[in-house]
Amino acid sequence: MRASRAAISRPYMCGNRNPNPGGFGVTWGGAVVIERTTMQIEQTAIPGVLILTPRRFGDDRGYFSETWNKAAFAEAGIDIDFVQDNHSRSELVGTLRGLHAQRPPHVQAKLVRCSRGAIFDVAVDTRRGSPTFGQWVGVELGAENGRQLLVPGGCLHGFVTRAPKTDVIYKCSDVYAPECEAGVRFDDPDIGIDWGLGGEDPVLSEKDASAGPLSEFDSGVDFTEQTP
């Protein structure tokens, strides 16, 4: 199916005209939000895809924020063992990395943030049997807003840079395994992501430029209600 683009509520967009976020917390602007002492957790239209916004404690020196706390988030139902941290630098505006995933036995959940510059970060649900299979969510992440996107295992992930010299840091729940990596074209018409490129061609790697369609992709991951 082709996922239509719909603006839900800031700070994210998604490819689902009838979002049904479910989950927990209180409803705010079409999303589900949990207010914690150090973090706001927002459920998007795709089950398990979460926007995490750390609270910043500031003074005349700057600010401090807690970007991840395993024990605290396990209490909120986010029980993930992250085992690897990655850091990418993109020099040019319009650099697009994606859409990527790892298949079993090295499926990766990811927690993505942008420490310098800005990106439009996208998750696509490709879990077998998911009620939102083939739909996408896009979130503006940047050094200024401090948001993070939690991408469950079995979902595709990608981003495009909105600023030069952009740094992206992300935690992974399994190690990089080249024999398990897979990808789908960023412009697959069956997904229909609006990357906000304004008609310009993105900067792509050869691998991403030659990725196959969604119709030929199998994540190897079954959807469960216990997400991510």
Cite the active site residues: 100, 170
107: left (phi over 0), alpha (psi -120 to 50) or beta: beta
Tokens of 105: 């036995």
Closest CA to 170 of 158, 181, 161: 158
The answer to whether the peptide bond before residue 54 is cis (omega within 30 degrees of 0) is no
End-to-end CA distance of the chain: 23
Contact criterion met (CB below 8 Å) for 63 and 161: no
Give the CB-side neighbour count of residue 2, counting CA atoms within 13 A.
Answer: 7
Find all residues with CB under 8 Å of 179, minimum gap 6, and list them: none
